[in-house]
Amino acid sequence: ITPAAIIKKLTGLVAATFTPLTAEGEINLSVIGPYIDYLIEKQNVKSVFINGTTGEGCSLTVDERKQLAAAWCQHGKDKLEQVIVHVGCMSIKDSQELAQHAASIGADGIAVISPSYFKPVNADALRLFIKEVSTFAPDLPMYYYHIPSMTGVAFDAADVLNGIEQVIPSFQGVKYTGTDLRDLGQCVCYSQSHNWSVLFGVDEQLLGALVLGVHGAVGSTYNYLGCIVNKMLVAFDNGNHMQTRALFHHYLCSAGFDVSVNKQVMSEVSGLAMGPPRLPLLPCPVSKAQAIALKIKDFSQGH
């Protein structure tokens, strides 16, 4: 049996998880077990994308990232459908080490962003980078994480995907955090023929991406608004446009914030202690997060 035949396709809502920190700024692994239960029981979200943008992965040390990945896999076993570990780093050596580690702890997949200090000059160079990471976890599905707003690497994701199956046998899709719907549509089109997943990552524009046929979504807001977005996905699948739009407009009233705000909102809504973000991010004023959390509680009750 080839690995491709046993790969579980990644679909639906995936929470891009926060990294719980103590008040002193150390990773707080004790929150991860309750965090998983909260996502499953309260938000109906069954897969996670860890150590990404929302998880402040690039602000963590390699050792911290390993400890977090191990805790997510251990606590998520037999509970979560998929744990995808983001392994993007500035140094390819660090990414390779994290990829190998993810394979050793039983993660379901890995993803990488492009390095952003020294940037790849073209899509070929980026493909080569992704390939050299994937060879350290050849049996794990590999996803390219396209996020030009953060990396400044803005070549079309469709150009990165084009032909990538010839260099990376484990390639399985793209997490698309961009607003170019033409490029996104081309990624969906190309992915259909390979049975890859296209996961959308601009939460506030998800409805537009659904129309183009994305297979799922990875985002920060699904940590605390997954429940309502899940209802929207059902309405969309049932072809109920009015209800889909109404739910999405409701959702939009409390979404569209940065990591610091989202992290504090998550603490307020879930009651789990996510702690502060790590510098250079600054904590969000609690009163601001409480006001957003209040709106969320209001309309969660209405639906």
Ligand X SMILES: CC(=O)N[C@H](C=O)[C@@H](O)[C@H](O)[C@H](O)CO
Interface residues with ligand X (CB under 6 A)?
Answer: 16, 53-54, 147, 149-150, 177, 201-204, 219-221, 256-257
235 in Cβ contact with 276 (< 8 Å): no
| Catalytic residue check, 288 | no
**Contact residues for ligand CC(=O)C(=O)O, defined by CB under 6 A:** 16, 49, 52-55, 201, 218-220
Residue whose CB is less far from ligand CC(=O)C(=O)O, 230 or 243: 230
The site partner of 203 among ligand X, ligand CC(=O)C(=O)O, none (C-beta below 5 to 8 Å per kind) is ligand X
C-alpha distances out from residue 213 to 39, 82, 187, 222, Å:
25, 21, 10, 19
| Catalytic residue check, 263 | no
109 in Cβ contact with 76 (< 8 Å): no
Is 188 known as a binding-site position? no
C-alpha distances out from residue 101 to 31, 73, 105, 224, Å:
22, 11, 6, 29
The catalytic position among 38, 143, 145, 224 is 145
Is 218 known as a binding-site position? yes
The site partner of 204 among ligand X, ligand CC(=O)C(=O)O, none (C-beta below 5 to 8 Å per kind) is ligand X
Residue whose CB is less far from ligand X, 55 or 70: 55
Residue nearest to ligand CC(=O)C(=O)O (CB): 52
SS3 assignment, position 109: strand
Residue whose CB is less far from ligand X, 100 or 205: 205
In one letter, which amino acid is 263?
K
- DSSP H helical segments within 168-258, as ranges? 181-192, 206-212, 222-237, 241-252
Tokens 């980026």 sit on residue:
126
List binding-site positions for pyruvate. Answer: 54, 218
Query: Would you please indicate which residues are annotated as catalytic (active-site) residues?
Result: 145, 175
